Amino acid sequence: MAGIGFQLKELYNQSSFFSQLRAYGYSTVTAVGPMFLTILLITASREWLIYINAQIFEINLFMAAVQYAFVFSQILTGGFLFVISRYVADQTFMEKEENVLSSMFGAIGIVVFLGFIAAVLFYLSSPLPFSYKFITYLFFTELNVIWVLSMYVSALKDYRKIVKSYVIGIAVAALLIWLFTGPLGYATATAVFIGLDIGFMLIVFMLMWDIFHFFQLNNKQYFYFLTYFEKYPFLFFIGLFYYIGLYGHNLAVWLSERQVIIADTFLMAPYYDTPVFYAYLSVLPALILFMVTLETTFYATYKKYYGRILNGFPLQDIESAKQEMYRTLRLEILFLAQVQLLVTFVFLFLGVRFLPFIGMTQDQIDIFMIVVLGSWFLSLIITFFLILLYFDERKVAFQLTSLYAVLTFFLTVIMVKLFGLYGAGMFIGAVVSMFYGSRLLIRQLNDIDYSTFCFQPIVYKEVTTKTERFLRKIGSLD
């Protein structure tokens, strides 16, 4: 996302207040993309159904299906996204853009196939009507495709097109949901999902249209990107455990005594899921700041440091660039932590003041406050492992994300079963992982000279992977 980050930085550097305000709007949509807008639309749809006095069963059915689609689409595609991001970046850097478009078709084909298998197995014993299964499966598939496309649109370096696609799609979905459930009187979960399906299908088409016009060559090597799973296996597991970590504590509570079964199909825990849903919104500013600061200011010093190494600068100049990079990184992390801490206090205040008005009990507000505090540490964890990936420390980044995923799940199980404390598992897991992550980052930065000069091969030799040999054997590669 560095290309988009630099364009956004140009807007931030402009003195005009409206230019900077516009930059914040663009960076918000670009950084959190469909996640932010989907959350906004889902929340508005739920409140709208309540406002028009829809049946409680329909509201619960809608929230259950949309939550499953949202959570499991990210878990399913999470590992693919990190591998695809590396593949697209490498192919673009090597000016082999004919490989990019073909990989998009291959990646979409694989995640859609896996999503279909998962949906069939999940709905196999469900008593829900086939029509509802189909429209919710379609929404699940669209989310899978959008998460994949997000890796490719980031290479377009045109945030205006990204913003335009998401805003138009969400607006169409909102309009159709209002039309179906309001004037036409179909206040059902099915009607809401039809509106969502049409709106998100429009997003898919618009994003694909932009990608087709940017990457116009297709060499039909659809599955060559799979070789990167063998070259960089830790990337897949980093993405997988990252999303498991985000939702693992929810899954743990679903298995507790707070579980609720919706329509004999969906296992949920609204008592816990609802406050966590609102608490996680506090992480979004950190994602935006990461793009605008670390992906612009830090990246400039990062590029300067490695540029001097590659161009054979004197050791004194390289050391000077390294110290400048360290100083910038330290200041940017501190700035991000301070802003995120301010956001945390704002969310705590707003939660105490306004959450009771939407029906939350005091126990749920307590969960919200604990998870908001834990989310401050989570924002630093995300920052740390992304910085580690900047320095290509994939194994170390995997250690951090896997630790957070394992800790939050099992600590939530322990805290709920033994002490009846909800949210404490996520908070403790985030605190421990944050301190562990800071230690890992400091250690890797202290050893950066050794990693840079001693871990790299003296003579690079391209190795044909087993995956590539297999693909050629079955005729998938020329």
DSSP letters, 57-117, are HHHHHHHHHHHHHHHHHHHHHHHHHHHHHHHHHHHHHTT-THHHHHHHHHHHHHHHHHHHH
DSSP string, 105-162: HHHHHHHHHHHHHHHHHHHTT--S-HHHHHHHHHHHHHHHHHHHHHHHHGGG--HHHH
Give the span between the Cα atoms of 346 and 325, in whole angstroms: 32
Q: Contact 401/385 with Cβ under 8 angstroms? A: yes
Residues whose CB is less than 8 angstroms from the CB of residue 145 and which lie 6 or more positions away in sequence, other chains included? 108, 111, 112, 204
Q: What distance in Å separates the CA atoms of residue 59 and residue 3, rounded to the nearest whole number?
A: 41
Alpha helices in 255-298 (DSSP H): 270-279, 284-289
The DSSP string of 290-321 is IIIIIIIIIHHHHHHHHHHHHTT--HHHHHHH
Predicted pLDDT of residue 241: 97
Q: Please state, in angstroms and rounded to a whole number, the distance separating the CA atoms of residues 135 and 84.
A: 28
pTM of structure = 0.91
Q: Which two tokens stand for residue 153?
A: 């649109």
Residue with the two structure tokens 């949509």: 29
Q: What is the pLDDT along the chain (478 residues), one digit of tens a residue?
A: 444 444 555 555 554 555 555 555 555 555 565 567 777 888 899 889 989 999 999 999 999 999 999 999 999 999 999 999 899 988 888 888 888 999 999 999 999 999 999 999 999 999 999 999 999 999 999 999 999 998 888 777 666 777 788 889 999 999 999 999 999 999 999 999 999 999 999 999 999 998 888 888 888 888 999 999 999 999 999 999 999 999 999 999 999 999 999 999 999 999 999 999 899 988 877 777 776 666 667 888 888 998 998 888 998 999 999 999 999 999 989 988 998 999 999 999 999 999 998 889 999 999 999 999 999 999 999 999 989 998 989 999 999 999 999 999 999 999 999 999 999 999 999 999 999 999 999 999 998 888 877 766 655 566 778 888 888 888 777 6
Show the tokens assigned to 471: 């693909």
**CB atoms inside a 10 Å sphere around CB 212:** 12
Burial class (CB in 10 A: 0-12, 13-18, 19+), 162: buried
What does 214-252 look like in DSSP terms, one character per residue?
A: HS------TTGGGHHHHH-HHHHHHHHHHHHHHHHHHHH
Tokens of 332: 């940017």
- pLDDT of 37: 74
Which secondary-structure segment (H or E) carries 266? strand 266-268
Distances, alpha carbon 324 to alpha carbons 67, 230, 367, in Å: 44, 35, 41
Rounded CA-CA distance 214/243 in Å is 30
